[in-house]
Structure formats: C-alpha cells, structure tokens
C-alpha cells in the first residue's frame, strides 16, 4: 500500500494535484473538505455540524473529522493506497491516523508539502472563489482565518512527519504539469 499525505496551506493546489496523482498511482483520493461539502449539500447531520465551522474558516472539531476519515477509509477495503488531502490538520488527527493505519498493518509513506508564498495563495483562492461557489474562498477575512488556523494548528505537522523522516517539501509554484512532475519524482521513491 502507498499512503500519502498531500500537505500545504489553502490554495496550495492539493486538490488539483491529487486528481492527477490518484489516476497515475491508482490511489483513492480522500479530501476531507470535499466530504464535508458533500454532506453540507445533502443536509446530513454531519454537514449541519461542519457548516458552522467551515463558514467562518475554522477547523471542524477533531473527533468528528477523525471519525469521518476512518469511515471513508473503511469504505474502500480493496484500495491500493490513499492520498489524504486536507487531513491530518492537527497533531491529534495525525496521531489518530497513525494508530488507525497501524491497526490495518499499514502506515503513511510520506507527507508531501506544496510550498507556495502567501500572496500567491490569496490570489489563487480569490480566483477560485469566482467559479467554485465556495463562500470561504470569496471573502478575504475568511481566507485569512483559514491561514491563521493553518499556522497555529496545522503547520506544526511538518515537524511531526520530519521526526519520522517522512517529510518532503515540493515547490508549488509553476505550471500544474511542472508541479505534478515534481510530486511524481518524490512519490516514485516512497
Ligand atoms: P479544504 O477544502 O481542505 O480547504 O477545507 C475546507 C474547510 O473544511 C476547512 O476550512 C475546515 O473548516 C474543514 N476541514 C477540512 N478538512 C479538515 C480537517 N482535517 N480538520 C478540520 N477541519 C477540516
């Protein structure tokens, strides 16, 4: 199994790249943000709960998010591996993921981080907001809050995976294809 955490701040290009990588490596792509949005659209209990946090750019509580992630993984027992996109976002999520995968006799092969300067991220998100319909991409205050959540709760995960020798930084600036090639160079060695 190959399990990859695709990491980076909002707007780094995780979702875009995951679409290419999942086909090339035959992996299941789990985007926790997409799963939450799907639940909001379908007005499920989980969606109602997540909405209040997502609307202002706060993280959804760990317990809810971890349970949802586990259910997504368990729904794909035949998978060749997973691309985790937008998860883990806190140390507690990362620890739970390690324990959960270990129980399945597998683990994370590597965290690959897309590195993009903040001014470019804001530009990308506001542009995406024009077509995505995502309210959290249309308001600069919400974007700034998401960055703040990232800096205070998520960025530390770099050290979490560095301590396990599993962190790989990739330059996330350039054409989509150039960035895919950079990611593939890392994944091929995992
Ligand atoms: P994303 O699509 O990854 O940008 O996520 C959009 C929003 O979904 C985030 O701003 C959070 O409110 C929520 N979310 C997605 N993934 C997580 C996670 N792993 N932990 C907590 N909240 C999350």
- Distance set, CA 42 to CA 38, 51, 72 (Å): 6, 12, 17
pLDDT at 77: 97
* Mean pLDDT along residues 16-20: 98
Of 147, 169, 9, which Cα lies nearest the Cα of 86?
9
User: Does 36 sit in the ligand 1 pocket, CB within 6 Å?
Assistant: yes
CATH superfamily of the domain spanning 2-187: P-loop containing nucleotide triphosphate hydrolases (3.40.50.300)
pLDDT at 2: 97
pLDDT digits (tens, 9 = 90+) for 65-109: 999 999 999 999 999 999 999 999 999 999 999 999 999 999 999
* Mean pLDDT along residues 153-182: 98
pLDDT digits (tens, 9 = 90+) for 84-96: 999 999 999 999 9
Residue 29 region, left (φ>0) first, then alpha (ψ -120 to 50), else beta? Answer: beta
User: Does 147 sit in the ligand 1 pocket, CB within 6 Å?
Assistant: no
* Dihedral pair phi/psi, residue 84, rounded to 5°: -90, 120
User: Does 154 sit in the ligand 1 pocket, CB within 6 Å?
Assistant: no
33 alpha carbon – ligand 1 mean position (Å) = 5
114 alpha carbon – ligand 1 mean position (Å) = 17
- Residue 24: CB atoms within 10 Å: 12
pLDDT at 107: 98
């Amino acid at each position: 199994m190959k399990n990859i955490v695709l990491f980076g701040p909002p707007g780094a290009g995780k979702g875009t790249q995951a679409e290419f990588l999942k086909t090339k490596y035959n992996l299941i792509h789990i985007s926790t943000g997409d799963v939450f949005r799907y639940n909001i659209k379908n007005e499920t209990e989980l969606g109602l709960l997540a909405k209040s946090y997502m609307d202002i750019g706060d993280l959804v509580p760990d317990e809810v998010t971890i349970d949802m992630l586990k259910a997504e993984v368990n729904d794909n027992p035949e998978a060749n591996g997973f691309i985790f996109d937008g998860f883990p976002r806190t140390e507690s999520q990362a620890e739970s993921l390690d324990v959960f995968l270990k129980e399945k006799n597998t683990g994370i092969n590597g965290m690959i981080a897309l590195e993009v300067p903040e001014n470019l991220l804001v530009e990308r998100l506001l542009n995406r907001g024009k077509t995505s319909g995502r309210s959290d991409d249309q308001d600069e205050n919400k974007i700034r809050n998401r960055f703040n959540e990232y800096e205070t709760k998520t960025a530390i995960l770099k050290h979490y995976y560095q301590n396990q020798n599993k962190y790989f930084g990739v330059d996330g600036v350039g054409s989509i294809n150039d960035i895919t090639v950079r990611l593939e160079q890392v994944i091929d060695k995992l």
